[in-house]
Structure formats: C-alpha cells, structure tokens
Amino acid sequence: MVTEKLLNELNEQINYEFESAHIYLAMAAYCADQDLEGFANFFIVQAEEERFHAMKLYNFVNEMGGRVVLRALKGPENKFDSILDVFKKALDHEKSVTKRIYNLMDIANGEREHATSSMLRWFIDEQVEEEATMTSIIKKLSRLKDNSHGIFMLDTQLGQRVFTPPTA
C-alpha cells in the first residue's frame, strides 16, 4: 500500500481529473452554442479522456489497497471570448495537470514507491501529447484568425475525433 501522503495526493488527482472532464464539457457547451459542433465534439472526447484518466488512477488506488475519496466538483468557467480563448484556457489547464503529475512523480520517487512511479510514467507521456495537441490547434486558430472557410475545415476535422481507450 502507498503512504498516506501519496494516497492523499492520488485522491486529489482523481478528483482533479473528474474536474477536468467538467471543464471540458463546459468548453464543449460554449463551442456548441457557437455552432461549432466539431470543436464541441473535440471537447466532449477530451472530457471522456479525462474521465478515463480519473478511473485509471481510481483503479490503481484500489489495486494498491488504498481508499478512493471523492469530493464535490468545482463549477467550471463557462464564459469565453472566442474559440481561440477556449483553447488557450485548455492549454493552461493541461499545463496545470502536467505540474500536478510531476509533483505526484516527485512524491512517489521520494518515497521509493516504484509501482506508483511506473504507473505515472504513462500520465507523463500522455501530458506531452495533450499539451502538443492544444498547442497545435492554437497555432492553427491563430493563423486562421477570422477565416470562416478555415474555421469550418478545422471544425469538420475535429468533428471526426473519437475516444478510443488506450490498451496499455
């Protein structure tokens, strides 16, 4: 079983991952309200990924003999200035997730909790992908500015995104 300190931090991360899903659903709702269904789909899939992350941690805590403790979710931000603003806030959020995962890894390494460190490597790799995806979309949106044809094409592309749970 993991130490109490590490268990508490893992529980915090489980809750933060569920909050992340909530944040991304709010972003999806904004996109849908702007008639950008592809962008809305992107964030709905992102929310599914975050719930998957939460459950991956949830299952790990259970496997390690710990007790998962859930708490109420904070209300997410629901007002955005533009689709670019949404993605900039999503990137900022992913950066905060990365910092939290790094902190968990530091604690696990400091406590020589090798099983937790091993599991967290998956999350570190995932965060590289998450930040790169958000950064790429921000760059595209910045180049497009108000080009409605380009926005439509990107919206169509993002509408094709589906959630496929990782097997590893």
164 within a domain of the structure (yes/no):
no
What integer pLDDT is reported at residue 168 of this predicted model? 64
58 within a domain of the structure (yes/no):
yes
165 within a domain of the structure (yes/no):
no
Q: Which tens digit of pLDDT belongs to each residue from 36-52?
A: 999 999 999 999 999 99
49 within a domain of the structure (yes/no):
yes
Residue with tokens 């999806």: 28
127 within a domain of the structure (yes/no):
yes
Residue with tokens 């659903």: 25
Q: Which domain holds residue 18?
A: 4-158
What integer pLDDT is reported at residue 167 of this predicted model? 75
163 within a domain of the structure (yes/no):
no
40 within a domain of the structure (yes/no):
yes
CA distance 62 to 1: 10
Domain count, the chain: 1
Q: Which tens digit of pLDDT belongs to each residue from 57-87?
A: 999 999 999 999 999 999 999 999 999 999 9
Q: Going residue by residue through the chain (168 aa), what tens digit of pLDDT does each one get?
A: 789 999 999 999 999 999 999 999 999 999 999 999 999 999 999 999 999 999 999 999 999 999 999 999 999 999 999 999 999 999 999 999 999 999 999 999 999 999 999 999 999 999 999 999 999 999 999 999 989 999 999 999 999 999 988 876
167 within a domain of the structure (yes/no):
no
CATH number at residue 32: 1.20.1260.10
Q: What is this structure's pTM? A: 0.94
